[in-house]
């Protein structure tokens, strides 16, 4: 017998309708948060970042590829990293299906890492991914979008806006981070509009969203060594 509460279909329906109202409240709150994200002040980008791409060296504005919006996923794979971050790899498995739809909604999506372009392409072939992936190793791009003022950059406490948990890890000094940054292009000017880290990126992961609706949820202790890279199961 299960230890979980059981009931009749009628009891389930009453409980489900009560939960539905809370789900609707969360949806409305999520819509309002999305509006507030869009209302954040834009910050002009003055640094001339250079990225190595499969089509040659490009500036940040050139990465927009003719669109007005750009989303960059900061993938943890650096020049001294032996392999792609398992967590970033887990997230990246869901990117390919989104790219085409984003491109037809005036949004370019790509990943950026500090490892060499050759390393990125090798790992990309191994994983079977198609989304664009560029090397930011020749610039301070990764550092600049992990901390937002010079003090944070100097002492390594700026990641995730200086929250204690992440500050203690001194992530900045290693210059590898998992994050999503958003930019907009108006004329020739590029503006930074948004960045999120850690649980702020949860919504990018379809597997997590599906697990949240499964009977036992994410239950991280249920499967030893989960998640793994999809070719390591």
The 3-class SS string of 111-172 reads: EEECCCHHHHHHHHHHHCCCCCEEECCCCCHHHHCCCCCHHHHHHCCCHHHHCHHHHCCCHH
- In the prediction, which pLDDT does 168 show? 42
Q: What is the pLDDT of residues 33-74, one digit of tens each?
A: 999 999 999 999 999 999 999 999 999 999 999 999 999 999
Bridge-based pairing state of the strands 43-44 and 179-186: unpaired
Is residue 12 one of the residues assigned to a domain?
no
Is residue 213 one of the residues assigned to a domain?
no
Which of 14-18, 149-153, 162-166, 219-223 tops mean pLDDT? 14-18
Q: What is the pLDDT of residues 130-165, one digit of tens each?
A: 999 999 998 989 878 864 555 655 555 555 666 655
Percent of the chain with pLDDT over 70: 86
Is residue 27 one of the residues assigned to a domain?
no
- d(C-alpha 121, C-alpha 127), whole Å: 10
- In the prediction, which pLDDT does 170 show? 47
Return the beta strands (E) in the chain as ranges.
43-44, 50-53, 56-59, 69-74, 107-113, 133-135, 179-186, 189-197
- d(C-alpha 138, C-alpha 117), whole Å: 11
pTM assigned to the model: 0.89
Domain residue limits at 89: 43-207
- d(C-alpha 33, C-alpha 4), whole Å: 34
CATH code assigned at 124: 3.40.30.10
- In the prediction, which pLDDT does 178 show? 86
Percent of the chain with pLDDT over 90: 72
Is residue 221 one of the residues assigned to a domain?
no
Is residue 157 one of the residues assigned to a domain?
yes
Q: What is the pLDDT of residues 68-125, one digit of tens each?
A: 999 999 999 998 888 899 999 999 999 999 999 999 999 999 999 999 999 999 999 9
- In the prediction, which pLDDT does 167 show? 47
- In the prediction, which pLDDT does 229 show? 95
Average pLDDT of span 186-206: 93
- In the prediction, which pLDDT does 150 show? 56
- In the prediction, which pLDDT does 82 show? 82
Is residue 29 one of the residues assigned to a domain?
no
As for how many domains the chain has, the answer is 1
């Amino acid at each position: 017998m299960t230890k979980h509460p059981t009931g009749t279909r009628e009891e389930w329906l009453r409980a489900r309708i009560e939960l539905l109202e809370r789900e609707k409240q969360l949806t409305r709150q999520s819509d309002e948060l999305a509006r507030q994200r869009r209302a954040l002040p834009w910050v002009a980008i003055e640094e001339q970042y250079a990225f190595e791409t499969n089509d040659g060296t490009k500036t940040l504005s050139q990465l927009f590829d003719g669109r007005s919006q750009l989303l960059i996923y900061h993938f943890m794979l650096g020049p001294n990293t032996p392999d792609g971050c398992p967590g970033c790899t887990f997230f990246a498995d869901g990117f390919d299906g989104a790219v085409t739809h984003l491109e037809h909604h005036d949004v370019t999506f790509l990943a950026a890492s500090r490892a060499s372009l050759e390393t990125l392409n090798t790992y990309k072939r191994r994983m079977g991914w198609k989304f664009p992936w560029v090397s930011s190793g020749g610039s301070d791009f990764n550092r600049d979008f992990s901390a937002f003022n010079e003090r944070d950059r100097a002492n390594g406490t700026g990641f995730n806006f200086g929250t204690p948990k992440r500050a203690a890890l001194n992530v900045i000094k290693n210059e590898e981070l998992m994050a999503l940054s958003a930019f907009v292009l108006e004329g020739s000017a590029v503006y930074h509009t948004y960045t999120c880290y850690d649980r702020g990126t949860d919504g990018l992961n379809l597997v997590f969203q599906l697990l949240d609706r499964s009977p036992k949820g994410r239950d991280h202790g249920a499967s030893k060594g989960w998640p793994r890279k999809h070719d390591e199961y």
